[in-house]
Copies of this chain bind each other. A is one copy, B any other.
Amino acid sequence: MHKHKFRDKQGEEYKALIRRLNRIEGQIRGIHNMVDEDRYCVDILTQVSAVQSALNAFTKELLSQHIHSCVVEDIRSGNDAVVDELCCLLQKVMK
């Protein structure tokens, strides 16, 4: 079974994540089109770099939500395993 975290679908936090993901999906489709339309490599790679930045921004946003909610709650309730989990996650996302 997967671990879950409730997200209010009317809330700003959820909407901000979905807005970013929709934009990133559009950017990837745009890159697909550029490859199909024989656009110059440098222009395509510049767009890929913009998607990397957008994914970084998504990571920072979700990471902040995670620390403010899950991490704080788990530490308060004595579940200190969340601290190692967070440090391990940071290793992954900051690589």
Contacts and interface: CB of A to CB of B under 8 A. Distances in A.
A51 B66 CA distance: 19
- State the main secondary structure of chain A at its contact with B: helix
B41 A5 contact: yes
Given A46-B92, A52-B52, A93-B45, A32 B21 contact: yes
A28 interface: yes
A95 interface: yes
Interface residue tally on A, bucketed by range:
35 or more
Contact of A35 (B14, B43, B44, B85): B14
A55 interface: yes
Given A25-B25, A92-B49, A95-B49, A38 B85 contact: no
Interface in A65-94: 65-66, 70, 85, 89, 92-93
A66 B41 contact: yes
